[in-house]
Amino acid sequence: MLAGNISDRSLKYNMENTEKEAMATNPKTHLDAETDYDLVRLFCRLASTQSPSLFEANVARYIKEELRRIGVKTYSDKSSKYTKSNTGNIVAVVGKGKPVLLFVAHMDTVEDGKKQIKPIIKRGVIKSDGSTIVGSDDKSGITAMVGALSRLKGRKDIPRSIFVFSTAEESGDNGMGISYLKLKEAVDFAFSVDGSDKPGTFIKKALGFGEFNIKIRGRAAHAASKPEKGANAIKAAGIIIAKLNIGKFKNGSSLSIAKISGGGTTSAVVPDGAELNGVVRGFNVSDMRGIRKHIMRVVSQACIVTGCKYKISFSEKNSAVPFDKPDEKIVALAKLATESAGLRFNLKDLYSPSEVNALYGMGYNALGMCRGGRNAHSVKEYVEVKEIYETAKLLTYIITMARNIR
């Protein structure tokens, strides 16, 4: 059962339970102190609306409805033509003038949508019933963005701020919905509102990764009477594995071999075929290039020694970034807003793919912005109510303080 088929009845049941639970805890703590807007109710509604990658339409519809209620116009872009999702990215634009800000949170989750997600609130923490994720990745990001829009409602003094609710982040790699976003204006500062860490923690770059495949072609010969006439592909594969620097390097990049296969037609012949599959990960383009060169060198030498032929193919799944340090101005803005909001500023790298690299790929100055939550992609996932409100607050500070950065 996919997202479109979740029964309304089960959703109603969930919402009633969730609301009752929220009321029983402490109704006051669940309302935005500034607007009386209930972000917890919104989060739970979004979480119980299943949205596996490429089936984000139900969540998209709900976000559009909610923003219409607040008085914010939205449109759906044309990215579904390329991603094949059942919706485009949802875009809302508020404010006027420079600098132009972009905020992105993804609508899809890792679950396949077969099991209904039932958010439960207990002592200020939202989690699932233990059989599914709760979808804080990235529905707490979406909730905080809607919360920020509700706080900024009617303000005429804020710079142009583009809010994008994107598709296919979890499945897409380089095909993420955000990669197909077309904007008319140049963006000065872009934030991917995603990342399971305390609000105030920003991600300066995420790990890029690419897969590779090595095909080794040897020569069959009788293994007992004329082995010297053969070229042993398994021996070449063995040398390659022994010589490759498999593991993690000091700069955070890594090389792994994930699969090996091969052999000859019978045990009587020298094996003439072998294949290796692996992954290269790295934080920037030159680190990844360095590892690729190392692989080519090792494979070529092993094949010279054994008399085999080879073919290597690399495919990039999530682009690495072309630099070592992010733009100083966006870091200054993140720090100023975080400290003004009374939170602790922290800057780190992320060891998994993220939309932040896609934003760099689009030519923007970008940072990932953590939105709370822990244990993403697992049934132990949870998010603190406090973190959702802190993220919403931080977003409003980034927007209202952006003009202080020159």
Distance between CA atoms of residues 292 and 244, nearest Å? 11
Binding region for Zn ion (CB under 5 A) out of 136-144, 247-255, 309-317, 330-338: 136-144
Distance between CA atoms of residues 395 and 401, nearest Å? 10
Q: Considering only CA atoms, which of 133, 134, 141 is closest in space to residue 178?
A: 141
Nearest CB to Zn ion, comparing residues 102 and 214: 102
Nearest CB to Zn ion, comparing residues 108 and 188: 108
Tokens of residue 13, six digits: 């049941």
Binding Zn ion (rule: CB under 5 A), the pick from 56, 66, 138, 287 is 138
Ranges within 201-240 binding Zn ion (CB under 5 A): none
Binding Zn ion (rule: CB under 5 A), the pick from 19, 56, 111, 137 is 137
Q: Considering only CA atoms, which of 376, 375, 349, 374 is closest in space to residue 198?
A: 374
Q: Establish if 108 lies at the interface with Zn ion (CB under 5 A).
A: no
338 vs 75, 234, 356, CA distance in Å?
30, 56, 19
Q: Up-side HSE of residue 78: CA atoms within 13 Å toward CB?
A: 2
Output the smallest distance, CB 190 to Zn ion, in A.
16
Q: Do 253 and 231 form a contact (C-beta atoms < 8 A)?
A: no
Output the smallest distance, CB 10 to Zn ion, in A.
25
Nearest CB to Zn ion, comparing residues 194 and 197: 194
Distance between CA atoms of residues 195 and 280, nearest Å? 22
Q: Considering only CA atoms, which of 334, 355, 13 is closest in space to residue 195?
A: 355
Ranges within 146-205 binding Zn ion (CB under 5 A): 194
Q: Do 199 and 372 form a contact (C-beta atoms < 8 A)?
A: yes
Tokens of residue 371, six digits: 């939105």
Nearest CB to Zn ion, comparing residues 137 and 197: 137
Nearest CB to Zn ion, comparing residues 149 and 358: 358
Bridge partner residues of 277 (DSSP): 213, 259
Q: Considering only CA atoms, which of 181, 203, 205, 174 is closest in space to residue 315?
A: 174
Q: Do 283 and 207 form a contact (C-beta atoms < 8 A)?
A: yes
Output the smallest distance, CB 369 to Zn ion, in A.
12
Binding region for Zn ion (CB under 5 A) out of 2-10, 13-21, 130-138, 232-240: 130-138
3-state class (DSSP) for residue 250: coil
Nearest CB to Zn ion, comparing residues 147 and 195: 195
Distance between CA atoms of residues 163 and 144, nearest Å? 11
Nearest CB to Zn ion, comparing residues 272 and 390: 390
Residues 6+ apart with CB under 8 A from 226: none
Nearest CB to Zn ion, comparing residues 87 and 196: 196
Residues that bind Zn ion (CB under 5 A): 137-138, 194
